[in-house]
Amino acid sequence: MAIMTYLEAIADGIRTEMRRDPSVFMLGEDIGIYGGAFKLTKGFIDEFGATRIVDSPISEAAIVGAAIGAALNGMRPIAEMQFMDFVTCGFNQIVNVAGTTAYRWQMGVPMVVRGPSGGGVGANPFHSRNSEAWFAHASGVKVVCPAFPADAKGLMIASIRDNNPVVFYEHKGLYRKIKEEVPEGDYSIPLGKARVVREGSDCSIIAYGSAVHFALEAAENLAVEHGYKVEVVDIRTLVPFDEETVLASARKTGRVVIAHEASLTAGFGGEIAARIADKAFEYLDAPLKRVAAYDAPTPFAPTLEKAVLPNAAKVRQAVEELLRY
């Protein structure tokens, strides 16, 4: 075990797989000599060389298209989006090409599209989007949104080894903010397995990514101040979705708040709410509530960004409303 930041754990996962499997390589903008916009790939080119750490043109469509071609020819590419906002430029390649190839040709496309997402760091509308719900809606694409360093490493290794295209969201606000013990060497976590990160009996908070940390802060404050026992479930992967763990928590507590940083309308929280309403309705003692960002671009001004995005206080307020219901 070693203490790692969220960023270091992701880098360690990629490095571990590149050392183990020569078919794994990376391509993206400024990932080589420069070491990446967030320095996640710092030193990679010295170890693996320019044929496996490939600096690309500024074209996400080209990056993803080249990755698909490489994957179809026996390689396992990791395509970096310098910011996940710009995955829009490669959207067609991921959704219409990579996502449908297994159905059309009975061929896997073992590739990972990864990069920083999310707000809270004053990065303006072009560098703060949480777009994971787009890909959750696309058949044939898996979607991963880790909240902790150990999970980020284990899920990254599992994503690289998967024979399907995986879109891997790394919240940039977590990159250097959190540290924890992370297993060294070969360590993977199966995709599609949620984790109960805090046990409770009074209310459940279902979350992923940065919202897991909002949920844990809200749960801790409610426990200290009022003695409430709030359960927090980190779903970790949107696709595959661990419905069983989420439903078990909803049935256990009877009250559910669903939290994510992405905007509210058509966010993945709506899918979670629908699953619970469909299969655990008779266990609920209060309406389902969602906490998410406003349906607006993420402002650059810190005060406005704080107002638009969810936080621990907003999650706590939602839990308290359900507990009073």
- In this structure, the chain runs to a length of 325
Q: Which of 127, 171, 213, 260 is catalytic?
A: 127
User: Among candidates 293, 290, 321, 291, which has minimal Cα distance to 306?
Assistant: 293
Tokens of 75: 């390689």
| Cα end-to-end distance, the chain, whole Å | 44
What contacts 49, CB < 8 A, 6 or more positions away? Answer: none
Helices (H), the chain: 6-20, 44-48, 60-72, 91-92, 99-105, 132-136, 149-161, 210-226, 243-253, 268-279, 302-308, 312-324
Active-site residue flag, 137: no
CA distance 238 to 271: 10
User: Among candidates 271, 148, 159, which has minimal Cα distance to 212?
Assistant: 148
What are the φ and ψ backbone dihedral angles of 106, each rounded to 5 degrees?
60, 40
For residue 240, is the peptide bond before it cis, meaning its omega torsion is within 30 degrees of 0? Answer: yes
- Check residue 35 and give left, alpha or beta (phi > 0: left; psi -120 to 50: alpha): left
- Residue 48 near residue 60 (C-beta atoms within 8 A): no
User: Among candidates 293, 308, 320, 117, which has minimal Cα distance to 205?
Assistant: 320
What contacts 254, CB < 8 A, 6 or more positions away? Answer: 283, 284, 285, 286
The catalytic residues are 127
